[in-house]
Structures are given as structure tokens and as C-alpha cells.
């Protein structure tokens, strides 16, 4: 089975100085972009960073009780999210490989 690249790979690939790649959910992703992780770590902690989370699994939860269900499995209050807002949140770990979640609220109902 061949590994896929993310939509950002053509831009981020050349930025990876050490070419340190790892497997993540069927994709190949950079483990770090510099030879030392110090500057990346400092940027994440003190200013800003962009993380390519393309390999995260996506689920669509719909219906009358969708927000209520999500409030049981994620740590953020989904009901407080505005339509179109995306929340990055830890979720209940039902499997060893999928401990994170991104939740988006849409204006669709039922």
C-alpha cells in the first residue's frame, strides 16, 4: 500500500530541512521541518504555527441530537460554536490511533 501525500505536501515538502517523514493514517507527513525542533516548539508555544492535520479522520454527525452526542465525546461545548466555526478539541479515545478531533458546526439541521 502506497502512502498518500496531503494537499499541502508540494508546498511543505521542500521546507523540510531534515526530510524526516513519518506515516500517519495512510499519509506521509513531516515529523519536523528543521533539524532541531527547538524553534518550532517555541513558535507553537509563544506565537503561531500551522499544522497540517489532513490525515485526521473526518466524521459527519447530523440530526436533532448531534450537538448533544458530540458534547459527550469532545471536551469543548459544541452548542456554543457559531455556524461555520471550527473547534479543535480532544475527544473520547475509542481507539488508540484517534485521540483528537476537529468539530465544525454547520447550519444544516435534522
- Model pTM score: 0.61
Question: How many Å apart are CA 86 and CA 54, to the nearest integer?
Answer: 14
> Residue range 60-83: average pLDDT?
85
* Per-residue pLDDT tens digits for 72-94: 888 888 888 888 887 777 777 65
pLDDT category, 5, cuts 50, 70, 90? very high
pLDDT of the residue at 9: 93
Contact residues for 76 (Cβ-Cβ < 8 A; gap 6+)? 87, 89, 103
Residues 31-58 have a mean pLDDT of 85
| Residue 33 and residue 19 in contact, taking contact as beta carbons nearer than 8 Å | no
pLDDT recorded at residue 109:
47
Does pLDDT of 97 surpass 50? no
Amino acid at each position: 500500500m502506497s502512502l498518500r501525500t496531503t494537499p499541502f505536501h508540494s508546498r511543505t515538502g521542500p521546507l523540510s530541512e531534515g526530510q524526516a517523514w513519518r506515516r500517519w493514517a495512510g499519509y506521509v507527513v513531516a515529523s519536523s521541518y528543521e533539524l532541531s525542533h527547538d524553534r518550532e516548539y517555541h513558535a507553537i508555544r509563544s506565537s503561531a504555527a500551522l499544522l497540517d492535520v489532513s490525515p485526521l479522520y473526518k466524521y459527519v454527525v447530523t440530526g436533532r441530537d448531534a450537538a448533544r452526542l458530540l458534547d459527550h465525546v469532545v471536551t469543548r461545548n459544541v452548542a456554543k460554536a457559531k455556524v461555520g466555526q471550527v473547534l479543535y478539541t480532544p475527544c473520547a479515545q475509542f481507539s488508540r490511533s484517534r485521540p483528537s478531533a476537529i468539530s465544525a458546526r454547520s447550519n444544516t439541521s435534522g
